[in-house]
Chain A
Amino acid sequence: MATAAPPLKDELDIVIPTIRNLDFLEMWRPFFEPYHLIIVQDGDPTKTIKVPEGFDYELYNRNDINKILGPKSSCISFKDSACRCFGYMVSKKKYIFTIDDDCFVAKDPSGQQINALQQHIKNLLCPSTPLFFNTLYDPFREGADFVRGYPFSLREGVPTAVSHGLWMNIPDYDAPTQLVKPLERNTRYVDAVLTIPKGTLFPMCGMNLAFDRDLIGPAMYFGLMGDGQPIGRYDDMWAGWCIKVICDHLGLGVKTGLPYIWHSKASNPFVNLKKEYNGIFWQEEIIPFFQSATLSKDSTSVQKCYIELAKQVREKLGKIDPYFVKLADAMETWIQAWDELNPPKAN
């Protein structure tokens, strides 16, 4: 009996930022090979990144980014994995899965290898339930359902825009926590997918993430980080807060939980501390900003929402540090670049 075609084979791109090499792809080969890869090479563009045989891919280094975007390339970070969002922009597919190059295939408690991509696809293809919490988590999963008391009118759910996966082994801690608990490893497999409720923010990690480009793509800007910037390791966080506000506004869902990947590399906590330093203080102001951000009824598209948000960032966060003014500008540049590369389809 012929095996079914890999789901969404021609509708999904895998975006991988890298500065080292792509050896990790060997382990993922059984799950990733049918899919198209977009490699975003950070750092020195003269270095050649070898892609393992058999993968269908396009690769962009800094020179390519500068050529394609021209002056607008200023919004794409350099020397930081935040540059991956360039991959989102140039993709022509409906769905994106992004993964770090130090993430490998994890095993579930029964010892089976986890096909993270397949789980993300399942998460994206079935509805979310942000309006009322289901105590048995994802009601659309096999073996589960809505519990007693869950209103029937809310059981259709809303479209899922983002699927946020987790990590076994090295957990995604900030530098202070890493310094205090250098040996802590995540060994707990929590067999759940759940929708993050409307009105609730979360820390979105870009290590193992999938989203619907059509629904939320333009909001997945990973900010200005790395070289020449006063902050690093907040790229995915920034995107996560923006997309959540916008998803809540547009009635879209964000899921978190399965799938797990195996995170193998612990980054240097002292290096991380330097990068995160400003972020640790700034997030105390940034979070209340996002928690109280409201978008106007006229913002009916992701781009409109994002531009509105950028204005608010400039107005309200600009006073914390001039960085936020630069960031607001970059957010607007990003949208312009996105719209240029992704013109609305002709009728």
Chain B
Amino acid sequence: MRNPPTLLSLTIDSALINFSTISDLSFVPEHILLELFVRTLKAGKLNEKILKLFVATGKEEILSVIESLNIQHILVPVLPTRKLFHDEVDIVIGALQPDLTSFMEQWRPFFSRFHLIIVQDPDLKGELKIPEGFNLNLYTKSDIDKVVGSSSNAISFSGYSCRYFGYLMSRNKYIISIDDDCIPAKNSNGEPIDAISQHIINLTTPATPFFFNTLYDPFCEGADFVRGYPFSLRSGVECGLSCGLWLNLADYDAPTQSLKPDLKNSRYVDAVLTVPARTMLPVSGINISFNNELVGPALLPAFRLAKEGKVRWETVEDIWTGMCVKVVCDHLRLGVKSGLPYVWRQERGNAVESLKKEWEGVKLMEDVVPFFQSVRLSESAVTAEDCVVEIASSVKEHLGPLNPTFAHAAETMVEWIKLWKRLRAN
């Protein structure tokens, strides 16, 4: 019979996994410190930051081990000129198809540095096929049921909404999400485009929602603010949401695609721009990223159509959510960007078939858009959570009577915030 692990070894295991949260090791008794050091080496996790922690303890034995192994600080850091944000980004993928091999392999060059959260559509039976070599957490229906618990009646994470569970689980600052039927697009030289880097750039450079810059993003290389742009507005504001675009199969609704079955988007528009304050837009969930710390609670699964399906033509949940996020950003003086990066969206589904099934979404937009264009939040709403609660109450009052989908959305939004707060409190 094997000996069960000791408490010490379990503790050291835990420390190894959570090293990023440890900022001081000086209180650790020396023998434990040594054990931790050896195990860190064995796990291949000794990096500059962690080495510094050990050295900072000043403990003799640690220092002599370091010396005897000839471990050296890198004096001239070999760093890229741009900060890579590795440990601040989660890439969240909602898996609506069972075999993610091709998808993940195509994205591997751009995904591999980052932590991934994959959430399997609870309606998708069987085990997901995921290739090796990624740093990822996988969540399935059972995880969702365990975490969400009793409120799983109100919030459905089925279909495209499964990714929101991933957002809920993430503790990172930036989240990037791409549909699983998209692959990297190619630039004019035929090279695959790093959509992840572009999203990170969008999120980490300022947005300019209060005045339109005719040369688009003034912070990108080769551009600037034009003549006539007020100087007081040139520092911009933080970017809350970045909406990317799609080549090949664009995100048209079913009527448009049915009418123009050959309409493919082949135009690469080399620009990122900030969508001005108080201007609403249809946010497509196919290729987005956001600042989880600033707007996380507003990325919510609330607007479920009665006959919502497993192709984007049969949903408008992301459009609803996007408008919530825009209202929140406008209120909190954050920016929303649109444009690059592009992804290549593969053919899936049949627009005509979708049209036969689902008209509801298209009709409901007629009420949704004017509502979001006119909703105003109170001064006391200073966080995304506050804003969402106020929007929900306004939805209940003004849209609820029009259609049960709206009333349900309002309820779900409230439940979501409760869930969000509950999970963050732990």
Query: What are 16 inter-chain pairs, A to B, with CB distance below 8 A?
Result: A135-B245, A148-B253, A151-B366, A151-B369, A153-B366, A166-B215, A173-B227, A174-B225, A177-B225, A188-B271, A200-B276, A200-B277, A201-B211, A202-B213, A203-B228, A205-B227
Q: How long is the Cα–Cα vector from A309 to B232 in the complex, in angstroms?
A: 24
- CB contacts between A and B, total, < 8 Å: 174
Q: Which of B252-309 contact A (CB under 8 A)?
A: 252-253, 256, 260, 263, 265-271, 275-284
The yes or no answer to B230 lying at the interface (CB within 8 A) is yes
Q: How long is the Cα–Cα vector from A154 to B373 in the complex, in angstroms?
A: 13
Chain A contact residues, majority secondary structure: loop
Are B228 and A240 within 8 A (Cβ)?
yes
- In the complex, chain B residues whose CB is within 8 Å of the CB of A135: 243, 245, 251, 281-284, 338
Given contact pairs A133-B275, A149-B282, A237-B227, a sample of 13 additional A-B residue pairs in the complex whose CB atoms are under 8 Å apart: A132-B280, A133-B281, A133-B338, A134-B282, A151-B368, A171-B215, A177-B225, A190-B216, A192-B271, A203-B226, A205-B214, A236-B228, A237-B228
When each residue 327-370 of chain B gets 1 if its CB lies under 8 Å from chain A and 0 otherwise, what string results? 00000000000100000000000000000000000100110110
Sorted nearest first, the 10 A-B pairs with minimum C-beta distance are A203-B228, A149-B282, A149-B319, A133-B281, A197-B279, A202-B212, A200-B276, A148-B253, A237-B228, A174-B227
Are A148 and B252 within 8 A (Cβ)?
yes
> Which of B212, B243, B263, B280 has the most chain A CB within a 10 Å cutoff?
B212
The yes or no answer to A32 lying at the interface (CB within 8 A) is no
When each residue 187-215 of chain A gets 1 if its CB lies under 8 Å from chain B and 0 otherwise, what string results? 11111100011111111110000000000
CB of B47 to closest CB in A, whole Å: 38
Interface size range on B against A: 35 or more
- In the complex, chain B residues whose CB is within 8 Å of the CB of A173: 224-227
Given A143-B267, A149-B365, decide whether A184 and B281 contact each other with a Cβ distance below 8 A.
Answer: no
The yes or no answer to A186 lying at the interface (CB within 8 A) is yes
Are A199 and B279 within 8 A (Cβ)?
yes
The yes or no answer to B222 lying at the interface (CB within 8 A) is yes
Are B230 and A287 within 8 A (Cβ)?
yes
Residues of A within 8 A of B (CB): 109, 132-137, 143-154, 164, 166, 171-174, 177, 181, 184-192, 196-205, 233-234, 236-237, 240, 256, 276, 280, 283-284, 287
The yes or no answer to B312 lying at the interface (CB within 8 A) is yes
Are A190 and B230 within 8 A (Cβ)?
no
Are B252 and A145 within 8 A (Cβ)?
yes
- In the complex, chain A residues whose CB is within 8 Å of the CB of B366: 151-153
The yes or no answer to B229 lying at the interface (CB within 8 A) is yes
CB of B219 to closest CB in A, whole Å: 13
Are B222 and A184 within 8 A (Cβ)?
yes
Given A133-B279, A149-B319, A200-B279, decide whether A189 and B270 contact each other with a Cβ distance below 8 A.
Answer: yes
- In the complex, chain B residues whose CB is within 8 Å of the CB of A174: 225-229
CB of B284 to closest CB in A, whole Å: 7
- In the complex, chain B residues whose CB is within 8 Å of the CB of A283: 228, 230-231
- In the complex, chain A residues whose CB is within 8 Å of the CB of B237: none
Are A143 and B227 within 8 A (Cβ)?
no
> Which of B216, B243, B277 has the most chain A CB within a 10 Å cutoff?
B216
Are A284 and B224 within 8 A (Cβ)?
no
- In the complex, chain B residues whose CB is within 8 Å of the CB of A284: 230-232
Given A147-B251, A149-B282, A152-B366, decide whether A187 and B211 contact each other with a Cβ distance below 8 A.
Answer: no
CB of A138 to closest CB in B, whole Å: 10
Q: How long is the Cα–Cα vector from A280 to B250 in the complex, in angstroms?
A: 42
> Which of B227, B265, B271 has the most chain A CB within a 10 Å cutoff?
B227
- In the complex, chain A residues whose CB is within 8 Å of the CB of B10: none
The yes or no answer to B165 lying at the interface (CB within 8 A) is no
Nearest B residue to A178, CB-CB: B227
B216, B231, B284, B368: the one contacting A148 at CB < 8 Å is B284
- In the complex, chain B residues whose CB is within 8 Å of the CB of A186: 215, 222-223
Q: How long is the Cα–Cα vector from A166 to B227 in the complex, in angstroms?
A: 13
- In the complex, chain A residues whose CB is within 8 Å of the CB of B118: none
Given A136-B250, A188-B223, decide whether A199 and B276 contact each other with a Cβ distance below 8 A.
Answer: yes
Are A132 and B224 within 8 A (Cβ)?
no
- In the complex, chain A residues whose CB is within 8 Å of the CB of B277: 200
> Which of B250, B277, B282 has the most chain A CB within a 10 Å cutoff?
B282
The yes or no answer to B316 lying at the interface (CB within 8 A) is yes
Q: How long is the Cα–Cα vector from A204 to B213 in the complex, in angstroms?
A: 10
The yes or no answer to B111 lying at the interface (CB within 8 A) is no
> Which of A137, A148, A187 has the most chain B CB within a 10 Å cutoff?
A148
CB of B159 to closest CB in A, whole Å: 15
- In the complex, chain B residues whose CB is within 8 Å of the CB of A236: 228
Q: How long is the Cα–Cα vector from A132 to B319 in the complex, in angstroms?
A: 13
Nearest A residue to B188, CB-CB: A109
CB of A154 to closest CB in B, whole Å: 7
Q: How long is the Cα–Cα vector from A275 to B229 in the complex, in angstroms?
A: 16
- In the complex, chain B residues whose CB is within 8 Å of the CB of A237: 227-228
Nearest B residue to A133, CB-CB: B281
- In the complex, chain B residues whose CB is within 8 Å of the CB of A233: 227
- In the complex, chain B residues whose CB is within 8 Å of the CB of A196: 212
- In the complex, chain A residues whose CB is within 8 Å of the CB of B223: 171, 186, 188
Are B319 and A148 within 8 A (Cβ)?
yes
Nearest B residue to A193, CB-CB: B269
The yes or no answer to B313 lying at the interface (CB within 8 A) is yes
Are A151 and B227 within 8 A (Cβ)?
no
- In the complex, chain A residues whose CB is within 8 Å of the CB of B338: 133, 135
Are A177 and B224 within 8 A (Cβ)?
yes
Are B265 and A181 within 8 A (Cβ)?
no
Q: How long is the Cα–Cα vector from A188 to B282 in the complex, in angstroms?
A: 26
CB of B224 to closest CB in A, whole Å: 6
Are A144 and B265 within 8 A (Cβ)?
yes
Are A143 and B265 within 8 A (Cβ)?
yes
CB of A192 to closest CB in B, whole Å: 4
Nearest B residue to A137, CB-CB: B269
B265, B276, B313: the one contacting A136 at CB < 8 Å is B265
Are A144 and B267 within 8 A (Cβ)?
yes
Nearest B residue to A109, CB-CB: B188
Q: How long is the Cα–Cα vector from A284 to B211 in the complex, in angstroms?
A: 12
- In the complex, chain B residues whose CB is within 8 Å of the CB of A234: 228
Nearest B residue to A285, CB-CB: B230
Are B260 and A145 within 8 A (Cβ)?
yes
- In the complex, chain A residues whose CB is within 8 Å of the CB of B211: 200-203, 287
CB of A112 to closest CB in B, whole Å: 15
Are A136 and B245 within 8 A (Cβ)?
yes
